[in-house]
Amino acid sequence: MEKEFKQIERRINRLYDLHEVYLASFEKDAVPDLEKRSQERVSEVKALVKDVKRFLATAENKTETHAKPLILALKDRMTTLLEQNKTLQTKVSVAKDRLEKDMKQVSKGRKAIGSYRSSTAVSNSPKVISITAY
């Protein structure tokens, strides 16, 4: 059971470190790689859930008295991860909103530039000449 607990602690520490790197990427990158970071987090969370289920099944089968403090320690660590995850969700939401706003602004700019073209410039576009008729 101690072995499973240590494995969960390693996974939690890795996930915590991933969150820290992810949060730092919002500060240093103009546009952080949300997809890559999300995939990393999803795979770590899946592994963590699997390890926690295995640990709880082992703890349920054994009536050892030291299982309860371990479970409470896990609960505290998970609460910290969930708080960190909420911070990440907020940052991701802000970044997505900013990107959508910037994309709309670029789209408006493209439309405005397109409206400045003269109709003669559009009508003077190259034509295809068929050379088979000669």
Q: Is residue 128 part of a domain?
A: no
Q: Is residue 83 part of a domain?
A: yes
Instruction: Give buried/exposed letters for 28-61 (b at 16+ CB in 10 A, else e).
Output: eeeebebeebeebbeebeeebeebbeebeeebee
Instruction: List, for residues 13-40, the tens digit of each pLDDT value.
Output: 999 888 888 888 878 876 677 778 888 8
Domain that holds residue 40: 2-116
Q: Is residue 84 part of a domain?
A: yes
Instruction: List, for residues 66-88, the tens digit of each pLDDT value.
Output: 778 888 888 898 898 889 889 88
What is residue 65's DSSP assignment?
A: T
Total number of domains in the chain? 1
Q: Is residue 93 part of a domain?
A: yes
Q: Is residue 89 part of a domain?
A: yes
pTM beyond 0.85: no
